[in-house]
Structures are given as C-alpha cells and as structure tokens.
Chain A
Amino acid sequence: MTSVKPPDLGVDGASRIAPLIKNDKVHGSLYTDPAIFAEELQKIWYRTWVFVGHESEVSQPGDYVRKRLGLQDVIMTRDRDGGIHLLLNRCAHRGNQVCDDAKGNSATFRCPLHGWTYRNTGELIGFPFFKGYGGRKLDLAMGRVARVESYEGFVFGSFAEEGPSLVEHLGAAAGEIDRLVRLSPQGRVELSAGWLQHETSANWKLLAENETDGYHPQFVHGSIFGVTGSTIGPLYSDASTAVTRNLGNGHSENDLRPEFRKFAEPMRWFGTTEQRVPNYVAAMRERYGADAEQILIEGAPHVMIFPNLFIAEIQVFNIQPVAYNRCVQYSTAVQLVGAPELNKRMVSQCVGSVGPAGMLLADDTEMYERNQLGFEAQQPEWLDLRRGLQRERIDDNGFTIGGATDETGMRGFWSHYASLMVAQ
C-alpha cells in the first residue's frame, strides 16, 4: 500500500516540483494543489509564450477585443499603424477596468471612474482637472504584456521582458501552423467566426494532455463515431499507422498523414471528396501546382502547442486557466481565406463538434471533470504515463515518436513543464 502523503516537498519550487514528475508517471497533487497552480501562473502563464488570439479578430485600425491571459483581462488592440498590442484592462490611476465591451472599434479607452483616457497603444493621453497634478503630463500608462509576437496571424504574448523568441518557442510546431495555412488557396487563415466559451471544472493540464492522447477517442467518442459512421475512430486504433510525435518545447501532435497517404484521396481528411468542393480544389491546384495533391491528401494538423493552443484540424482551441480545478476552453472554426466552399461547412462541423453542447467536446469535458473529481480519492496517488514507452523510436528528423495511441505527447508536455517549473 502506498502512502497518501505527497512525496517530500521542499520549501523552494525546484525541489518541490521535481520529485512529482517522472518520465513514466506524474503525481496527482500537480492537479489539485492550489500552491502549484499559483506557481504555474508565475512560471508558465506569466512567463512563456501564451496564445491569446488572432490578428483577424482585430482586422481594422482601432479594432479591439477583450481576451484572457491566465487570470488577467487583456485587451488586444490594433493601432492606427497596424501594430498589435496586448493591454492590461486596468487604469493606471486606481486600477478600475477601462474597457467594458467585449469588442469594438475605438482609438482610445476612457476610464469611467475619473475620465482618464488612453490611446489604444496604452499611452496615457489625458486626465481631467490636470491642475490637481501640477501639469498635463504624468509618467503613467496602462500595463502591457511585455512581448507580443504573431505567427501566421496567431498572436502570442509573453510577460517576460526577455527570453526565447516566439519562433524559438514554437520550434517544430511552427511547421504545423504552416500546414494549416497552406490549406488556404491564398495562404492565409482567419479566426473570424467568434469563440464558444466552455467552462470546465478541471485542471488545465488534463486538457493539454488529452489533446494529443490518441488512446481515448474510441472510448470517449464511441457514441458519436458509431451513430455517424465516422472514419475518425480507426485513425486512433492499435492498427493505425498514424504516429504521436513529441515536437519539443512541450508541443506534440497526432500525425495522421500516414493514414491519409494510404488512401491517397484528396479531401478525405475533411470527410468529403474533391467532386464535392471543385472550386476549392481548383484554386488549390492553381496556387500550389504540383504540391497541391500532397496538401489536399494530407490535410490539416492535429497539434497541441504548449501551453494552450490546440489546433484540431479545422478547429482551434484557446485554453485559459481559472483555478487549480477550473479553466475555460475557447473554441472556433478555422476559416480559410479564399475557400468559401469550405468555410460554412467548417463552421457547421465545428458547431456540431465543440463547445458546451458539442457532440465531441462535451464528452471530453465530462471526462476532464470526472477526472478532477477522481483525484479526490487519494490512492493510487500517481497518474501512469508509460503507455508506449517501450516502443518509442526516433524519426528521420530526430523527434521521438510513438504509436497512434501512445502517451508520447504527454511525456513531451511534462518534460517541458518540469523544465519551466523547476527554473527559478
């Protein structure tokens, strides 16, 4: 019988966290300890690159949209020169929220409490009755996310003034975003269909781990695969030639291309045929020439980008934590610029699948929540992570890969998590 006491936890973070993470198991307290959650906010959410939104959500100068970054309310703005900013929604005077609309268009934000006014770059441009301050200028401004960078329009923020660039953080996962973007005949995607917001009573890491867990789909999603005759189930079977790849930096993917190459049918990845979407296929062949067949056969990526961006073929998820046992999943449909034949179908399929009533994601979410409740039982106190460890191999590009149903992605997640949490 194992002890119900957590392993010896030292006082400083490094010695507290390191013993909880092994290559083949992780300790249950990582999902239930409010102190570890508080430390994650500082060492992950408020330090590393975190996905916030997409440039297409603020397509015009003056556009703004409110977002979450960790526990913080952030305003993503586009200034008059086209620059993207992530401003903290807090007045520099007394901390009141300066923006109360979910989105809109405005060159300035005016705090309702005392009328302090800011440009959409965060600069303080005015405050009433200035004589009370002895002048018209004050050395104050809205708080800002220190670094903001985009990759193919996906906007990420990092509160760390210095550190790896976004491209360095994305590493090999950038190639998966490239694969998504290449599905547009104009080489651009937009996230313009609005976001569903799904409240989830579970630790955020359960979601990050599940996104490339190829072991669960046949069980959790058997009900919908069965009634729709979906072809997704066999992709995540023991017989599947798909692989789970640790992309490094905590990123992982289910690479389904080996299965789609086997069939070599354009648009099979989208559950359709080229005859059903002739204009799209023609536009793709026009744009990509000889490369088009491969793109049309291999389809979209299924990649989890640490810590919170999940691209699941035609849908995108933004996971934001709320507490050790709560998070929110934001989900939307990918929209491919120049592909009107596909875009409405993508919204329709996505609405059927994701969000609070989605025929796939509501069942995942039920599992996350029961998993969190399961942790209230204190034994066995570790979560097992060894699936596929004995059959992992290194691919031609030096990445660790496992079978379609193996826990290779989770092990990659935890390895990176450990490196961030143990750092001071």
Chain B
Amino acid sequence: MTSTIDSTDALTAVPDGFDVRDVEQFLYREARYADESDYDLWEELWTDDALYWVPAGNDSVDPMESMSVVYDNRNRISTRLKQLRTGRRYAQAPQSNLRRLISNVELLGGRPTAAGGDPDLEVGANFVVLESRARGNHVWGGRVTYRLRRVEGTLRMSYKKVVLVDRDKPLPTLGFLI
C-alpha cells in the first residue's frame, strides 16, 4: 500500500552513518515508551515535521482525501497526548496493558525530506502487540515503516506508518499508541 507520501520509487541508497544495532535499539525504546504509556518520553522521539499514520482499508489512497484510522501531524500528536494526559481519555483511562514485539528490521533506503539536506533513513519492521483491557484481549499486528534522522546527534523519528494486517475489517477501539 503506497501513495505519493511513501512511493518506493523515491527511495535512495541507505544513507551513511546509521548503525543497524543503534537503529534497532531506537525502535525497541520507542516500543517500550508506547507499551508503558510514557507519553512524555515518546513525544520527545518525534521531529518537528512528524507524521504518525495508521491507514484504513486496503487501497492505495491519498490520506488527504480518504479516511485513516490515525493521520496526525506534529500538532495533532501533541493534542492526542494532551488528551491522554488528562486521565479522562476514557478509551485509554484506565490504560491498556501492552507488550509488543518488533522483528524483521530492515534498512530500506534514504528518504529525501521536504526541507532538503540529508535524506532520512527509512526502516521497515513487523510487529505484534498484545493489548489487555476490560473489553478483552486483542492482538494487533502489522508492518511499520519508520523514518529516522539525527537531530543534534540524537536519533529522532519523523514518520511512523503502521499498516495493520486487519485494516480492511472492523477494528476495536485503538486508544493506545500503536
């Protein structure tokens, strides 16, 4: 599933300066912050031009013209986290108990940025999350594409796209950070 935002034609060679072990450690850390609902540390991982996207349905679609489960720019990520921090975001209050596995990590290439300069590193991985809440347990799984960049020497995430395996079916409430 690709659109103009993530056409693989635009990918360049894997940029220099990224160590696969460092990249994996970053992904595991991001996963742990999300699993533990550590909203502050999770938010710090994002760049200012962030995009957090969970598409819906099976088509190649333009998210500006079609419904997505999540399509958050940096501003909306902030709003979502502020709502979560109120403690009255009932879809996630009480919080879900969560643990996820990430695997099949691949460095896919370089992704030119809108601002120019060095391309972001595009990384693919598979994931499974077990969510437990009063409603019952649910297993979420799918493919994640990340874009990573060094900002003042520290790895940051500019993009996270989560393509759910069951995106073409009715989904239960997704209140946590996937």
Contact = CB atoms under 8 A, between A and B. Distances in A.
Partners in one complex: yes
Interface of A: 102, 193-201, 220, 222-224, 226-228, 328, 331-333, 343-344, 347-348, 350-352, 355-357, 359, 362-363, 365-367, 369-370, 373
Contact of A350 (B61, B67, B88, B134): B67
6 contacts: A102-B168, A196-B56, A197-B56, A197-B171, A347-B67, A359-B83
B3 interface: no
The 8 closest A-B pairs by CB, nearest first: A362-B91, A199-B170, A197-B170, A223-B88, A227-B82, A223-B86, A356-B174, A366-B90
Given A332-B67, A356-B69, A373-B134, A199 B90 contact: no
Nearest to A354: B67
Contacts of B67: 193-196, 331-333, 347, 350-351, 355
A356 B69 CA distance: 7
Nearest to A363: B90
B98 to A, nearest CB: 15
Contact of A347 (B54, B65, B87, B171): B65
A348 B67 CA distance: 8
B103 interface: no
Contacts of A197: 56, 169-171
A348 B75 CA distance: 13
Contacts of A373: 134
B68 A351 contact: yes
Interface string B81-97: 01100111111000000
Q: In the complex, which of the residues B67, B87, B174 has the most CB atoms of chain A within 10 Å of its own CB atom? A: B67
A194 B61 CA distance: 10
A350 to B, nearest CB: 7
A365 B173 CA distance: 7
B71 A351 contact: yes
Interface of B is mostly: loop
B74 interface: no
Interface in B104-141: 134-136
Contacts of A199: 170-172
B66 interface: yes
A194 B174 contact: no
Contacts of B171: 197-199, 356
B89 A363 contact: yes
B86 A351 contact: no
B131 to A, nearest CB: 12
Given A223-B83, A228-B79, A359-B79, A194 B66 contact: yes
Interface in B32-74: 54, 56-59, 61, 63-72
B76 interface: yes
Given A362-B175, A366-B90, 4 more contacts: A102-B57, A102-B58, A197-B56, A351-B63
A196 B83 CA distance: 21
A15 B44 CA distance: 62
A222 B27 CA distance: 33
A369 B138 CA distance: 15
B100 interface: no
Nearest to B134: A373
A194 B90 CA distance: 26
Nearest to B87: A223
Contacts of A344: 64-65
B174 A357 contact: yes
Nearest to A331: B67
Given A226-B86, A352-B76, A356-B174, A370 B134 contact: yes
B143 interface: no
Contact of B135 (A196, A201, A227): A201
Q: In the complex, which of the residues A201, A355, A356 has the most CB atoms of chain B within 10 Å of its own CB atom? A: A356
Nearest to B136: A201
Contact of B69 (A200, A228, A355): A355
B145 to A, nearest CB: 18
Nearest to A228: B79
B1 to A, nearest CB: 13
A331 B56 CA distance: 12
Contact of A357 (B54, B64, B79): B54
Contacts of A351: 63, 67-71
A367 B175 CA distance: 13
Contacts of A332: 67
Contacts of A362: 91, 173-175
Contacts of A228: 79
B5 to A, nearest CB: 14
A224 B68 CA distance: 19
A227 B86 CA distance: 9
A356 B172 contact: yes
